[in-house]
A and B are shown apart, each in its own frame.
Chain A
Amino acid sequence: MSTLIQNIAWIIPTVQTVHILCVSIVMSSMAMIDLRMMGLGARSQSVPDMVTRFMPWVWTSLVILLLSGSILIIGEPARSLMNPAFILKMSMLICVIVVTLTLQGAIRKDVAFWEMSAPRRTAARLMALVSLLLLVAIVFAGRWIAYMESYTA
């Protein structure tokens, strides 16, 4: 399977393109939501409204990212799995998913959850900022996979 993916020249660039397109959907949606949670950005849209509108796209894109990413890993296993940039990227991805589920899980149960008190408001803003920084770092780490050498056994 691995050699097949590598040998058919158009597979890896095409799968990477799909990967990047999904990153576009995730990054733009999350940037708008996170900035709104930090008090910046589109005032006319409420956070719950944006979450309802954007998150289905985000989660669907995440599934496609995992699928396309898996094809890329199968195609070039050592380049991915033993690469420090890739390992960092995956670690940060797990963190940002946890942060996102924390922020949005609470909103799902109680729309005003993060507005209820000053500590909660601060916590939400901080988590939104961390989410944004992690996502940016994930994009960088993804690009740097190509420039870092994989660990050799």
Chain B
Amino acid sequence: MALTDLFKSLQESPVGLAIRESGWMFPTIESIHVLAIVLVAGSIAMVDLRLLGVSSRNHAVTKLSTEVLPWVWTAFVFAAITGSLLFVSNASKYFINVPFRLKLLCMACAGLNMLIFNLVTSRSIQNWDSSTGTPTAAKVAGGLSLLFWILVIAFGRWIGFTI
């Protein structure tokens, strides 16, 4: 009950109203959101494909990650900010939307996957950083990451068709 009140106050707030009622704000924020997401997904894919041993094989994993991850995080911040603004504009509707919930769930799974990789699998990284072969755990991390982010994009697109 408190949650529905929160969503109502969010979407009736000046920001929520402005975005929802303006002809150009929602499309513009949404466009930035799409741009940010494609950069997140594409950048992460570079690291994932390296972990899977599919591409960039003569680049050390750590070096590739160091170069790519700042872009991932920067784009993610933009995606999160624009996503929050979009959410605020119609909070109640988005909250009960199934693809929206699945999208957030997949993002959480992607985050968990990344955490496990960084805390556990990466401990041995000195052994396989520069070799083309990667341990199974790294391959699994890369594959799952790709899967989760593909699903994030798919569910994100479905929101538009089900909202």
Q: Identify the A interface with B (CB < 8 A).
A: 12-14, 16-17, 20-21, 23-29, 31-32, 41-42, 44-45, 53, 57, 136, 139-140, 142-144, 146-147
Interface residues of B in 30-44 (CB under 8 A from A): 30-31, 34-35, 37-39, 41-43
**Contact indicator B153/A21 (Cβ below 8 Å):** yes
**Contact indicator B41/A21 (Cβ below 8 Å):** yes
**Contact indicator B157/A143 (Cβ below 8 Å):** no
Q: Considering the complex, give the chain B residue whose CB is closest to the CB of A9.
A: B161
Q: How far is the CA of A96 from the CA of B46 in the complex (A)?
A: 23
Q: Identify the B interface with A (CB < 8 A).
A: 27, 30-31, 34-35, 37-39, 41-43, 45-46, 55-56, 59, 63, 67, 71, 150, 153-154, 157-158, 160-161
Contact partners of A139 in chain B: CB under 8 A:
31, 34-35, 38
* Cβ contacts A to B, 5 pairs, < 8 Å: A20-B34, A24-B153, A25-B45, A27-B39, A44-B63
Interface of B is mostly: helix
Please judge, given known A-B contacts A17-B153, A29-B42, whether A143 and B34 are in contact too, CB under 8 Å: yes
Q: How far is the CA of A21 from the CA of B38 in the complex (A)?
A: 7
Contact partners of A142 in chain B: CB under 8 A:
34
**Contact indicator B42/A25 (Cβ below 8 Å):** yes
Q: How far is the CA of A31 from the CA of B74 in the complex (A)?
A: 13
